[in-house]
Amino acid sequence: MRKSRTIFLVLIFIFTFCISIVFVRAAVFPINDSTDDVQHIEGNETSTGDFQNEIDIVSLSLSGPTLELALQATPVWDDNHRYTVDIYWDGDENSDNNTYCDFGKGYNSVMTILWDSNSYPVASGYEEDTIYTSGSKLIIPIVDFSLIENPQNPHLIEVTTKYDPEIGNVYSDELLFETKSGFISGYQIPVTMIGLILIAGIIAIKVRKKAVK
C-alpha cells in the first residue's frame, strides 16, 4: 500500500515538473539582459563595460499589445543613437511572421508581416511615429498585434542598440533570444530536468530502503 502511494507521489512530481516546463516555454517575456555589458569599439581596440547607459539593455517585456524596452538610462533620440527590435513570432523556427521596430533620428517605425499556413500574407502593417520614451523605457506599440497567433511564444528576438559619436568609435549592446538555444526567460530547461531526475531518484531510494526493512 505504501509502495503504491509512493509511486503515485512520484508520478505527481513528474506531472508537476512537466507542466512547469510547458509553462516556462509558453511565456518567454520578460527577457532580461546583463547590465554594464556595452561593447566599445574604437579603432582596433574592443572593450566591454559600464558605458553609455542610455543604450545598455536591461530587459524586453510585453505589456498587452506593447513592447517595453528597458534601459539603464533614458533613450536618446538623435543622429548618433539607434534602437532596433526584430521579432519572429509563433514559436516556429521556419516562420516568417515578423515585427521590426526602429527608433532613432529619422527613424520611428513599426512593421508587422504575418503569413498563413499556405504562405499567403494575412497582415502587412506599417506605422510611423508611434514609438516613444517613458522614463528609461522605449514604448513600442505592435502593429496588427491582435492577428499574432501566440505573442507570448516568439522563436527569435534580436534587440540592438547603438551609439556612434564618430567614425571608428562605436558603442553597442545586444539582447538575443532563440527558442532552440534552450534559454527561456532566464531559465534553463535542462536544469528543470535535472531537478526532476534528482527528486525521482531520492524517492526511489527511500522506497527501496523501506522495502529492505
Q: How far apart are the first and last CA of the chain?
A: 15
Q: Write the DSSP symbol of residue 45.
A: E
For residue 91, the model assigns a pLDDT of 58
For residue 22, the model assigns a pLDDT of 43
pTM, full prediction: 0.73
Q: What is the DSSP string of 51-101?
A: --GGG-EEEEEEETTEEEEEESS----STTEEEEEEEE-TT-TT---EEEE
d(CA 146, CA 177) in angstroms, rounded, equals: 23
CA-to-CA separations, 107 to 70, 79, 142, 172, 201, in angstroms, rounded: 19, 10, 16, 17, 56
For residue 187, the model assigns a pLDDT of 37
For residue 117, the model assigns a pLDDT of 81
For residue 189, the model assigns a pLDDT of 43
CA angle (62, 192, 150) in 5-degree steps: 30
d(CA 179, CA 68) in angstroms, rounded, equals: 20
For residue 207, the model assigns a pLDDT of 56
Q: Kindly list the averaged pLDDT for each block of 10 residues, start to end, along the chain of length 213.
A: 59 56 59 96 94 98 97 97 95 78 96 89 94 98 94 93 95 90 43 57 61 58
**Residue 72, C-alpha cell as written in the block:** 539603464
Label each residue of 135-179 as H, E or C: CCEEEEECCCHHHCCCCCCCCEEEEEEEEEEECCEEEEEEEEEEH
For residue 14, the model assigns a pLDDT of 60
For residue 210, the model assigns a pLDDT of 60
The predicted-structure confidence for 23-44, as pLDDT tens digits, reads as follows 444 568 999 999 999 999 999 9
Helix (H, G, I), strand (E, B) or coil at 28: coil
